[in-house]
């Protein structure tokens, strides 16, 4: 006796192939968008880290009534780093230097694919210090450019101590420079 309603449950081969084709199409569209979003977010995160550390160092300079330094090593290379310099020696990325509230600086390894270029004058080869005076937290005018691919932001400083961030190209939700 045959039963017209006794079909086996499950997918047919055609339904499975259609589902796989749709998944492949979605992945083809989504992966490049995800990579682009990730790259933009890495630029924003690195910029925010630099901005936060400069602002922290400004307040520490006033609190300690001493000139403190934000030192950028290997600016423009793939192994850049920056350090917060309070006391002791700080002459390279491998130095532990000093820290404020656990913050010592950042390395290129924390932000893969990110380029950091500082406009401050070199004190010695590949060392660009930004000195922060305790009197009104003044510092040198210049900028630190952070970029990856088509995304670029800057942390800008001026002589009266103002520090701000802005987008150079393609960064959404950030004021233009």
State the pLDDT at residue 2: 59
Q: How far apart are CA 50 and CA 55, in angstroms?
A: 9
pTM: 0.80
Dihedral (C-alpha) 27, 32, 35, 39: value to the nearest 10 degrees? -160
Q: How far apart are CA 4 and CA 16, in angstroms?
A: 23
Tens of pLDDT along 29-77?
777 777 888 899 999 999 999 999 999 999 999 999 998 888 899 888 8
- Running DSSP on this structure, what letter comes out for residue 16? H
Q: How far apart are CA 169 and CA 68, in angstroms?
A: 31
**Contacts with 88 (C-beta within 8 Å, 6 or more apart), sequence order:** 97, 98
Q: How far apart are CA 26 and CA 113, in angstroms?
A: 26
Tens of pLDDT along 76-124?
888 899 988 887 677 788 777 777 766 778 888 899 999 999 998 887 7
Report in angstroms the alpha-carbon separations of 40 from 51, 108, 163: 17, 16, 21
Domains contained in the chain, CATH given: 40-169 (3.55.40.10)
């Amino acid at each position: 006796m045959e039963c017209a309603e006794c079909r086996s449950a499950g997918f047919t081969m055609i339904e499975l192939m259609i589902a796989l084709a749709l998944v492949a199409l979605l992945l083809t569209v989504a992966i490049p968008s995800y990579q682009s979003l990730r790259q933009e977010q890495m630029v924003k995160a690195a910029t925010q880290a630099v901005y936060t550390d400069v602002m922290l160092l400004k307040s520490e300079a006033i609190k300690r009534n001493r000139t403190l330094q934000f030192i950028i090593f290997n600016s423009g290379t793939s192994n850049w780093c920056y350090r917060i310099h309070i006391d002791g020696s700080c002459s390279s990325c491998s130095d532990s230097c000093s820290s404020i509230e656990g913050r010592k600086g950042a390395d290129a390894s924390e932000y893969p694919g990110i380029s950091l270029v500082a406009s401050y004058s070199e004190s010695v080869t590949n060392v660009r210090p930004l000195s922060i005076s305790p009197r009104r937290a003044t510092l040198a005018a210049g900028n630190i450019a952070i970029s990856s691919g088509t995304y670029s932001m800057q942390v800008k400083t001026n002589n009266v101590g103002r520090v701000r961030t802005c987008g150079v190209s393609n960064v959404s939700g950030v004021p233009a420079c």
